Structure 1
Amino acid sequence: MVDPSPAVLDDAVARTREALTRMGAPDRLAAPLVAVLGPDAAARLTADPWQLLELSSVTPRQADFCARTLLGAAARPDDPRRVRALVVRLVRRAAREGHTAVEYARVARALRSLGVTAPDAAGQAAAEDDRVRLIEDMPEEGDDSEFDGDLPEPPAPDRFLALASLGEAEQRLARELVRLTASEPIMDSATAAETVQAAAEKAGHDPAPELVAALVTVALRGVTVVVAGPAAQEARLATIRYAAAIAAESQTGMALLTPQASGAAALNRVLAEEGIRARTVAAALDDHALAECGLVVVDRATALDTETFAALAAACPGHAHLVLLADPAQLPSAGPGQVVADLIASRTVAVAALPDDARPTAQAALAAEVGAGRLPERVDAPGHEVVVVP
């Protein structure tokens, strides 16, 4: 697609200013609207004045005023154009707040508060606008063995609305995770435990039983969330080292990934002498680096949003095990979705918890307390690197 020339854009902005003047809107919105709607913004606004709501700075009340100015009595609260614009706006706002989907009932209530009286207006808007998708999730059916006669009516599905791109990403991620959870074990539990113990002895360490159990789970299960709190940083790094030992012993290969470049650099400084190199998720996906890996370890996994997670899961080969090292108490991803928290809550994947370090740093100890909802009166910090001020 060829970008419009400056002359074309200038003409589009001028025509959009005229359209805005006819509907009583400030002409300063012309350039932003052309950027969002394209060079035909004037024609699109004339046909549908509620497209003003494509700009987050325009309120529904302001858009309604402009629609009445342009359309007169034809500007009705239940106008399908208005309903579509409002639904898209509500779902986009939910996405900005980190949600990949929003409950249908919540959108319906919001529409009623904005004067929309049609009973299934939100569903109709989703059917007519390819930017929004209606998602139906059937609840699990209960045990019907106690019924001797006719079976009861099936429960109504849970309904959600999502931006099409996010809805597709969630469904793609679900399919890929189902595929990965079916992966065969990399090695049996006894061999995995022996491999971890041998690697630990070589390094002069005595691994905690919880750490060994977590690595055995990694070897057995296709998708594992390894929970590492702020006071388990040594255990977190040990998990990476022993996962690499399992990958080497089983000759499956391992990829170590992290969301940000700064995180990759920090890991590489710590692991510099061990032949384990971390890369960002984006870089690994760009050059298809996961094609031969049997073990894919993602550090700081809570920072990955749903769309990135879906791409990552799709890039993992069928035999791979996906390991998510994460502290659920950390800040969620900047993009929509909290995949790690959802996976833990779903109970559909393996979850293993790492023990806290024997001597966590003062910062880590304080972070662990705060993550648990407590603020201690003091922290053991001889160098005063952490001070609690009442």
Structure 2
Amino acid sequence: PGGAPDGDARVPAPVVPPDLPALLERAGVPAGAVTALAADAARLWGPGATGVLEADPWQLLALPGTTPDRADECARTLLGAGATPDDPRRVEALCVHLLERGARFGHTAADPAALARALGGYGVPRPEEALAEAIEAGAAVLFEDPDPDAAPTPVPPTAVPPGEGSAGAADDGNDGNDGDHTMGGEPGERDDFAPSVPVRTLVGTERWAVAEESLADGLIGLATTTPAGRPELPTEPPDASGGAPLRPGSSAAELWSTVRDHGLVVHTGGEAARAEPLAVVAAARAAGLRAGVAVHHPDGVRRAVAGLPDLPVATCAGLLTGREGPGRDEEGTLPLDLVAVLDAELMDVEAAAALVEALPGGARLILSGDPYGLESAGAGAVLRDVLTAAVRGLCPSVVSRTPDPGPIGELVSGVAVGELVPVEAPDREVVVVTARDAGEAVHRTVQLVTESIPRAFGTGPASTVVIVPGEEGPVGGLALNAALKAAVNPGPGRFGGFDPGDRVEYREGPGRYRPATVLEGTPQGLRLGPAGDPPPPGTGDADHTVTVPPERVATSVRHGWAVTARRAVGRRWSAAVVVLPGDAGHRLDRGWLHTAFGRGERHLSVVQGSAGGAAAAVAVPRRVERVTRLPLLLRRAVTADGGGATA
């Protein structure tokens, strides 16, 4: 799951208007940043980019890497005294910038009071009024969604002084719609037009509003389709050759019977539970339905087809673009009667809306994922929000009873519920290493990757991943990748910091990183080939080399021995080394640990400082709770008496 490709290094460079670089230089943009910024502006606004920025320099905030301070400096340079803190252009650009920045943290909307405070932090006078004016101008959208769970706002009886309000206005011929007086009836009378259901007020952009509303409509449609409108599934699942048996009483059998009777089903569980929707899809295909599986990352394809080589599995991005899967029929829909989405927690709201919109009438959808790990890189919290709606009766949910095996599975399961307890690991499946300082942490990590793990498990460094909280710092991704490169593939980095044979990560789009190996550097750019073994045929990766243009190498390619947990989602390696600096626990949370600890299939090493960062992190369920509208929109399908959606 993920959005359509964005930032793909194979996208042709845009045509930059000839006068745009000069304008950016005149605005004070540093010389080294002009070329990239001009290309971004041309990509966004096309031939009219120069005119856009001349009319409104604060539109620079729409371009990657531009800060409000930089935009203010450029505006003052171009506009002089006309660049004031309360300029409507500035307020509107800041409003959009703040909402888009929130989307990078997963929010699809914001509380108006919080947004106004943020505007005030950038020196906007009277921020509440300024926000209201920006909304009126169309920079943002105000939403008032019914929210029965919110505390109702008391509706006081009207208390209008004699001679004022509609009663007094009637005496002098006023119809009650002019002036500043309060509209109302007699003193003590209650307003019959006050909303009977509390509302939640949020501010957002049209982009996320369209996605969430489209997704809500599609999910409600799936949940409310009558059985007669869906292809029939037999009560007893047919035997699917190579598929996991749907034994009576098992979680897989429960999922089968639930999918048989409903158009939308939520399924949750860990790594081992992924076999259950796969078994249901295999059985549905044996019953004659057109059924398939969508996953977040090509590595998910590898794991899915390991026991079911004939099962049609595609990445969600590939399925939506047509690069993978069955393509679209003449009506533009996916020719599938049943789709099981694995890694649903990693699906952003735009990708989910696109997928649901692409399903034909009468299709069934299984959203399967792990609600305890990291959420999508893009905006939204689709799995969380649909689970919330399922509890309220929108659709059924199936919680897998299949535990993840072994010491790693036991550790990860404990982290999910906030417990960090020692596990028995007789074959050293889980090892904790304490490092006294950053230098020792780097040394022990390199030693684990290049010596200890290969000696104990017979796997080379290519089968091990190092997971870090961030790129910066003495034990961050940059430092560890430099140390690992020196140990595994030393070289001068003659091609933009890379050498042939380097293990790298290539950014295909938001939250989607593909492992690769540097083949060579050419005048056209850095040429990358597949990492490790060739990918399975039909996954869109078989013919897989890509040349990254020189100007995009710095933003699209990173060394890949050590990666952040965000870049590791949707994938697993034979072994994982999780590095937790001493202060990391106060910046991480339970979801981060759950994801990081679950990346190793056979072995997990934890290198941590003496402060024990894991214990501090596991105590915090989530440091950021995403603000979204989807749960409010899905409530429309649930009856007022608490019943479920009409099926």
Q: What secondary structure is seen at the aligned counterpart in 2 of 1:319?
A: coil
Name the structure 2 match of 1:352. Answer: 398
TM-score by length of 2: 0.51
Give the one of 200, 203, 206 matched to 1:158: 200
What is the letter of the counterpart of residue 57 of structure 2?
A: P
Gaps of 5+ in 1: 143-147
Name the structure 1 match of 2:464. Answer: none
CA distance in 1, matches of 2:316, 2:117: 39
1:255 aligns with 2:292: yes
Gaps of 5+ in 2: 1-11, 153-188, 435-647
Matched-pair contact (CA < 8 Å) for 2:281–2:292: no
CA distance in 1, matches of 2:80, 2:23: 21
Matched-pair contact (CA < 8 Å) for 1:45–1:52: yes
Name the structure 1 match of 2:409. Answer: 364
Name the structure 1 match of 2:429. Answer: 385
Matched-pair contact (CA < 8 Å) for 1:208–1:355: no
CA 1:161–1:264: 2 relative to 1, 3 Å: same
Matched-pair contact (CA < 8 Å) for 2:218–2:353: yes
Name the structure 1 match of 2:216. Answer: 174
Give the one of 236, 241, 251 matched to 2:279: 241
Matched-pair contact (CA < 8 Å) for 1:126–1:133: yes
Could you report, residue by residue, the CA deviation over 1:202-250 in whole angstroms, capped at 9, with x for unpaired residues?
A: 97774434442232111112111111124xx1x431442134324543x
Quote the offset at 1:336 in angstroms. 1.7
Quote the offset at 1:83 in angstroms. 0.4
* Higher deviation after alignment, 28-37 or 79-88: 28-37
CA 1:389–1:76: 2 relative to 1, 3 Å: same
Name the structure 2 match of 1:280. Answer: 315
The number of residue pairs the alignment matches comes to: 365
Quote the offset at 1:76 in angstroms. 2.6
Matched-pair contact (CA < 8 Å) for 2:267–2:399: yes
Structure with greater strand percent: 2
Give the one of 78, 82, 90 matched to 2:86: 78
CA distance in 2, matches of 1:210, 1:204: 11
CA distance in 2, matches of 1:97, 1:203: 38
Q: What secondary structure is seen at the aligned counterpart in 1 of 2:430?
A: coil
Name the structure 1 match of 2:459. Answer: none
What is the letter of the counterpart of residue 271 of structure 1?
A: L
Give the one of 259, 264, 268 matched to 1:223: 264
CA distance in 1, matches of 2:245, 2:127: 70
Q: What secondary structure is seen at the aligned counterpart in 2 of 1:255?
A: strand
CA distance in 2, matches of 1:292, 1:71: 55
Q: What secondary structure is seen at the aligned counterpart in 2 of 1:270?
A: coil
Quote the offset at 1:158 in angstroms. 2.4
Quote the offset at 1:58 in angstroms. 4.1
CA distance in 1, matches of 2:278, 2:199: 41
Q: Mapping of 1:178-193 within 5 angstroms?
A: 178-185=220-227, 192=235
What is the letter of the counterpart of residue 378 of structure 2?
A: G
CA 1:210–1:270: 2 relative to 1, 3 Å: closer
What is the letter of the counterpart of residue 278 of structure 1?
A: V
Q: Kindly, what percent of the aligned residue pairs are identical?
A: 34
Quote the offset at 1:330 in angstroms. 2.3
Quote the offset at 1:299 in angstroms. 1.5
1:309 aligns with 2:344: no
Give the one of 333, 340, 355 matched to 2:376: 333
Quote the offset at 1:180 in angstroms. 0.9
* Higher deviation after alignment, 300-309 or 361-370: 361-370
CA distance in 1, matches of 2:261, 2:347: 24
Structure with greater helix percent: 1
CA distance in 1, matches of 2:53, 2:247: 69
Name the structure 2 match of 1:145. Answer: none
CA 1:5–1:336: 2 relative to 1, 3 Å: closer
Name the structure 1 match of 2:541. Answer: none
Could you report, residue by residue, the CA deviation over 1:110-130 in whole angstroms, capped at 9, with x for unpaired residues?
A: 112323215342243244356
Name the structure 1 match of 2:61. Answer: 53
Structure number with the bigger relative contact order (C-alpha 8 A, sep ≥ 6) is: 2
CA distance in 2, matches of 1:309, 1:134: 23
TM-score by length of 1: 0.81
CA distance in 2, matches of 1:73, 1:162: 31
1:30 aligns with 2:34: yes
User: RMSD of aligned C-alpha atoms?
Assistant: 3.3
Could you report, residue by residue, the CA deviation over 1:269-298 in whole angstroms, capped at 9, with x for unpaired residues?
A: 2212xx423122233332127644221111
Matched-pair contact (CA < 8 Å) for 2:237–2:246: no
Q: Mapping of 1:204-219 within 5 angstroms?
A: 206-219=247-260
CA distance in 1, matches of 2:283, 2:312: 14
Q: What secondary structure is seen at the aligned counterpart in 1 of 2:431?
A: coil
